[in-house]
Chains A and B, each alone.
Chain A
Amino acid sequence: MNRNNLLGSLVLLGVLSGATAQAGDIPEYKLVVQNQRFLPSSLRVPANTRFKVLVTNRDSTPSEFESSDFNREKIVLPGSTVTVFIGPLGKGRYKFFDDFHPHTGNGVLIVENSRGGSGQEMPEAGE
């Protein structure tokens, strides 16, 4: 590799690494997997804001929190909690599902301009 390639790569690496600035305190939401369903099945979250969802699996089988709408995939082992960072997202509805139980494990993020209530669990859709 010549010197120009090395220099260019290091500059690019530095730029990209520098972009990993601290996220700081961000809104937090909670989801529970129980009986192969997400509880609640919908969360209201703020638009254009990065937030995190803590997903706890209370079942005795693994779950996989997944979404094509916002490109996330995370395994949640039985009895464990994982953190899923999401966003910023534009206003709208974004589906997520349990890839291991796709017929029962479905939910939606409702992204809206209001603040959405940091850390607040919202009622299940349809309630």
Chain B
Amino acid sequence: MSQGTHSIAPGVRPHQTLALCALLLAGACTAAHADDFIVYSPHVNQGQSEIELRGFYTGDGRPGLDGRAASELSFSHAFTGWWKPEIYVLEYEKNPGESEGLVGYEFENTFQFTQPGQYWVDVGFLASLELPNTKGEQDKLEFGPLFERTFGRFDHRLNLIWEKEIGPGASRHYEFRYSYAGTYAVSAAFQPGIEFYGRPDDHAYQIGPIVHGEWHVPDTTSNVEYRVGLLQGINADAPRRTWVVQFEYEFL
């Protein structure tokens, strides 16, 4: 299939990257779920609060796939060492040829089942409730296990997520997606790696390089985290390029 043979982001220049990032963070463009491009960690750090902004933007020569985007803003707080609720207060989406719009809200929970490193693999669980504000859209439940394994500086994460409509008229269909992230911690601020996303229901599979890291804010108990990546579609139904951006402010 043709998309899988393209080199990653041919012709994309740094200033174009910055412009796309700025656009995403402004929430000015956006479509599909930003949740589709995150690989959750099962780890919960008690007492920590987070403000997070993330989104994606697709670039593709085909009209149906070019210019899809989404962004969302969320707040979370880890009340215990095993439970972190997160509220998405703004979720924007934009589909090709349409204007962007506020699509709803979401209440997400991360449950940490095992301590990091306690067993061969760390296990957690994600459960969230999506409340769309678009007419005709059903409320949705998302749930599934989260796995993480570290080998020295290497870190591997795997998510298996199911999505199910709920309420009157809800479809019986369970939509499934999975994602993997593998990174190497060169330092706390620079952790390059790859991410892979599979959405069998959309026949869309994507892989690409990412880098994430964090900086401590001097004289505080706060950190700033970032994550940027460029995913390449590896089959015909996936967008050729998807830019992924995430910023997070953590504090106690």
Contacts and interface: CB of A to CB of B under 8 A. Distances in A.
Interaction A to B: yes
B173 A99 contact: no
A2 B223 CA distance: 42
Given A17-B123, A71-B185, A83 B160 contact: no
Interface string B121-156: 101000000000000000000000101001011110
A2 to B, nearest CB: 8
Interface stretch (A40-48, A62-70, A118-126): A62-70
B52 to A, nearest CB: 16
Nearest to B48: A75
B117 A87 contact: yes
Q: Interface of chain A, helix or strand or loop or mixed?
A: loop
Taking residues whose C-beta sits less than 8 angstroms from the other chain, chain A's interface range is 35 or more
A70 B220 CA distance: 24
Given A19-B120, A71-B153, A85-B116, A99 B223 contact: yes
Interface stretch (B64-72, B92-100, B174-182): B174-182
B117 A5 contact: no
B5 interface: no
Interface in B45-75: 45-48
A13 to B, nearest CB: 6
Interface string B5-36: 00000000000000000000000000000000
Given A1-B200, A19-B121, A71-B185, A9 B47 contact: no
A110 interface: no
Interface string B159-198: 0101000000000011110100000011110010000000
A20 B117 CA distance: 10
A78 to B, nearest CB: 10
A11 B47 CA distance: 35
B121 A16 contact: yes
A83 B115 contact: yes
A69 B216 CA distance: 17
Contacts of A13: 145, 160
Contact of B45 (A5, A68, A70, A74): A74
B143 to A, nearest CB: 12
Nearest to A87: B117
A77 interface: yes
Interface in A82-125: 83-87, 89-90, 99-100, 102
Contacts of A2: 200
A16 B153 contact: no
B192 to A, nearest CB: 13
B147 A85 contact: no
B178 A100 contact: no
B120 A100 contact: no
Interface of A: 1-2, 5-6, 9, 12-13, 16-17, 19-23, 50, 61-62, 64, 66, 68-75, 77, 83-87, 89-90, 99-100, 102
